[in-house]
Amino acid sequence: MPVSFMTDVVMALVALVAAGGCSKSSGAAAAAQAPAAEPRVIESGKIDPAWLSYDAATKTLNFHLIAGLTGLNGALNFNGFRDGGLTLTVPRGWTVAIQFMNHDGMLPHSAEVIPATKPVPTGPVPPAFDGAFTVTLAQGLPPLGEDGMRFIADRVGSFLIFCGVPGHGAAGMWVRLKVSGTARAPFLTATPAGKS
C-alpha cells in the first residue's frame, strides 16, 4: 500500500481515539470511512534563495533556471512559476550568468531572453541580448540536459525568459527579467497568482 494511504489511516485512527475512543470492532470501519487527506505536492510559488547569487565587486550574478521544477502547468514552468509569476531584477550593466537545467522528466525545454511582448511568441525569436539563449532553442534540451547563457544587461527594460520549444512559451512557460537603472543588487520576487 502507498505510504500516504497508511499515514491517512493512522491519522484517522488517532483522530477517532482523541474524539472519544473506539472499540476494537468499530475502529477499522471508522478509519476506512474517514475522508482521505489531499495528496501533498511540492509547492509552486516559493522562491529558493539558492537560485540566485552574486558578486557586487565584479557586478556578476548567477541564476539557476530550472525547467519543469514542479508539476505546475504540466511541468511547463521555470522554477515552479508560470506566466511571469517570478521576476529576476538585475541592475543595468551587470553580467548575467544563467545556468539552465531541464528537470522535466518527459519534455525537452530551452530558454532565451526576449523583449517583453504580448502575446508571447509561439517559438524562438531573436534574443534581446547577445548570448542570451541556450542551444537548440526550437528542439530544446532533453530531460536532465544542461546549458548556460551569459550576457551583459546593458539596457533598462522589461524582458521575458521563455522556453523556445514551439508552444511551450505560449502555454505559460516564461518568467520575467527586469533590468533596472536604480537597483543596487539583483533580487527575485514572486507575483501572486492572477497579478502577473
Task: Enumerate residues 6+ apart whose C-beta is below 8 A from 175.
Answer: 78, 79, 81, 84, 85, 86, 87, 88, 160, 161, 162
Q: In this predicted structure, what is the pLDDT of residue 192?
A: 66
Q: How far apart are CA 117 and CA 131, in angstroms?
A: 20
Q: In this predicted structure, what is the pLDDT of residue 102?
A: 98
Q: In this predicted structure, what is the pLDDT of residue 108?
A: 98
Prediction pTM value: 0.77
47: its cell numbers: 522562491
Task: Enumerate residues 6+ apart whose C-beta is below 8 A from 81.
Answer: 44, 45, 72, 175, 190
Task: Identify residue 174 by its one-letter amino acid code.
Answer: W
146: its cell numbers: 544542461
Going from the first residue of the chain to its last (196 residues), give the mean pLDDT of each consecutive group of 10, the final group possibly shorter.
40 38 37 36 74 98 97 95 97 98 97 96 97 97 98 98 97 97 97 59
Q: In this predicted structure, what is the pLDDT of residue 195?
A: 52
129: its cell numbers: 541580448
The gap between the terminal CA atoms of the chain, to the nearest Å, is: 41
* Nearest Cα to Cα of residue 146 among 63, 67, 75: 67
Q: In this predicted structure, what is the pLDDT of residue 45?
A: 75
